[in-house]
Amino acid sequence: MTAWLWSWNEGTVYAFADDTEVTEGRTLLADGAVIEAESEPRGIGGLVRDGSGAARGVWVQVVGRELTAECDGPCALASGRLCRHAVALALHAVERRLPWHAAPVDDTPCAPGEALDALTAVEKAAVLDRLLDARPELRAEADQLAVHLLAPRARVELTALQEGTAAEVEQALRTLDSDHLSTGYRPGFGYTGVYEAASRLIEPIIEQYEADVRRRLALGMPDAAEAVALGVLDGLDACEGDYDGDEVLCYAGEGLAEAYGFKIRELMRTAGRAVE
């Protein structure tokens, strides 16, 4: 049982990505956004910074004779397609001739459940879609599980959601790279000060959680939406005034929760759940 070396080049990467993702991926690569890349048993794993400066975990893998990807950023990955972060990582690997080894071929039958446990999150989503297409009677049960996942009712689960969100927000903000602050005069745009430049990096992170709050409110899950909203505000508060070195937060001003949590507070106020 040996692993086989997969043949790949730039053309291979382009074949599994849309034109827009290829263009944006090439831009990320040119900007030095790939900060870590290494060969893994089924492909390449690494870290890629996006436009907000946040580092995204990315995995480009060989599945059969095709490429597939996972990205922990806000990318909406279509089945069998690579997002811009995955394109940047894959092209980085091509440039540096990193070896991609497909999974070893083993003729021994899998134990029950072994193949399912080995699937990536993207592959599991594809399996779920196919399962529900083949077994529509399971859709109601699957929906109940989805509701439980998005709208925990136990206080301990809601607390965990709030604390987890706070930790995610704090980490994302503290790891923003000040090298991505874009200040100065731009023709047609005027002068960008350091405060505005910092806001442009911080706001996309908070907007992801605003979208999550909206989603849960739209689904009639106010308790879960409130837990996420409070977590965002807690994460912003945790970043207040305690900066290490040359962080982007040093240029963001004071009252982070007040300034960047305004939209989330308004969402919750409109829903009858004022949060502070």
Cα separations in angstroms, 172 against 70, 208, 222: 19, 11, 25
Stretch 181-196: mean pLDDT: 64
CA-angle at 173, arms to 169 and 177, nearest 5°: 150
Task: Supply the pLDDT for residue 185.
Answer: 54
* Percent of the chain residues topping a pLDDT of 70: 83
Q: What is the mean pLDDT of residues 55-71?
A: 82
Greater confidence (68 vs 231) lies with 231
Q: State the pLDDT at residue 176.
A: 80
Burial of 174 (0-12, 13-18, 19+ CB in 10 A): middle
| Nearest-angstrom CA–CA distance, 59 and 122 | 11
pLDDT greater than 50 at residue 257: yes
Among 51-60, 69-78, 166-175, name the one with the lowest average pLDDT: 69-78
Spatial distance between the Cα atoms of 237 and 254, rounded to a whole number of angstroms = 10
- Structural tokens at position 252: 């963001």
Q: Which of 169, 75, 161 is nearest to 122 (CA)?
A: 75
Asked if residue 86 lies in contact with residue 62, where contact means CB atoms within 8 angstroms, the answer is no
Alpha-carbon span 182 to 121, nearest angstrom: 35
pLDDT tens-digit series, residues 69-123:
888 877 766 666 889 999 999 999 888 888 765 544 444 566 666 778 777 777 8
Q: Residue 4: what pLDDT?
A: 39
260, 236 contact by CB (below 8 A): yes
Q: What does the chain come to in residues?
A: 276
Express each pLDDT in 195-233 by its tens digit. Answer: 777 878 888 889 999 999 999 999 999 999 999 999 999
Q: Is 44 exposed, middle or buried (0-12, 13-18, 19+ CB in 10 A)?
A: buried
Q: Which residues make beta-bridge pairs with 60?
A: 44, 69
d(CA 231, CA 265): 12
How far lies 219's CA from each of 29, 124, 137, 257, in Å?
38, 23, 22, 26
If you average pLDDT over each of 38-47, 81-90, 253-262, which comes out highest?
A: 81-90
Return the amino acid letter for 165. Answer: T
Q: What is the mean pLDDT of residues 6-33?
A: 83
Give the C-alpha separation, 57 to 60, whole Å. 10
pTM of the full predicted structure?
0.56
How would residue 187 be classed by pLDDT, with cut points 50, 70 and 90? Answer: low
254, pLDDT greater than 90: no
Percent of the chain with pLDDT over 90: 26
pLDDT, averaged across the chain: 81
